[in-house]
Amino acid sequence: MTIEANAVVVLDYELKVNGEVIDSSFGQEPLSFIHGVGALIPGFSAAIDGLKKGDKKAFVVSAEDGYGELDEEAIRTYAKDDFPGDVDLSVGAQLFFETEDQMEIPCFVKEVVGNDVIIDFNHPLAGKELHFNIEVKDVRPATDEEKAHGHVHGAHGHHH
């Protein structure tokens, strides 16, 4: 079976940015997902379409087809006094802002200058070219239950 919409895919991957490995599943639990349900960045999904069990592939995903271009308007400045005293405001710390409808938006402390805290709401990989090496471990049709739930069940997947 080839990788197509509603196929369960189990694969190992290595992700490099600027020549540095920043994530890998090799030697660990492989990544499992239902293909075509929007769980992955568009460039990754497009690059694996049509592959089958045992296939290996190296490919590059542009920022546009990955986590998007860096949006300068998503970088905002707040006063230190805007944060509770126990919040970690060190550079690189991840914070969560709550919207009016109680959605949590992740962000990161980009810089602290005097009383100003510069917060970046961009994904950490926004604006980056992503280099992947993958090996497809398994491909099978998703069950009706998996499709209804939107995730893989059983080995390498979600357990209820």
Which is nearest to 40 in space by CA: 103, 132, 156?
132
Which is nearest to 29 in space by CA: 5, 11, 48, 45?
11
Torsion of CA 137, 143, 145, 147, to 10 degrees: 70
Q: Tokens for 115?
A: 């009383």
The Cα 41–Cα 63 span in angstroms is 10
The Cα 79–Cα 104 span in angstroms is 20
Position 157 scores a pLDDT of: 52
Tell me the pLDDT tens digit for each residue of 60-72: 999 999 999 999 9
Please indicate whether the domains covering 7-67+127-145 and 72-120 agree at the CATH topology level. no
**pTM: predicted TM-score of the whole model, two decimal places:** 0.84
Position 155 scores a pLDDT of: 57
User: In the predicted model, what is the mean pLDDT of residues 64-83?
Assistant: 96
CATH number of 72-120: 2.40.10.330
Position 159 scores a pLDDT of: 43
User: Would you tell me how many other CB atoms lie within 10 Å of the CB of residue 88?
Assistant: 10
Residue 153: pLDDT band by 50, 70, 90 thresholds? confident
pLDDT at 160 over 50: no
Position 150 scores a pLDDT of: 85
Q: Tokens for 158?
A: 């979600």
User: In the predicted model, what is the mean pLDDT of residues 40-68?
Assistant: 97
pLDDT at 156 over 60: no
DSSP code per residue over 41-64: -HHHHHHHTT-BTT-EEEEEE-TT
Dmax of the chain from CA atoms? 58
Ordered by start, the domain boundaries in the chain are 7-67+127-145, 72-120
Dihedral over Cα of 88, 94, 98, 99: its sign: positive
Which residue did the predictor score with more confidence, 11 or 147? 11
**The listed CATH number (3.20.20.105, 3.40.50.410, 3.40.1190.20, 3.10.50.40) that belongs to domain 7-67+127-145:** 3.10.50.40
Q: Tokens for 77?
A: 């400045």
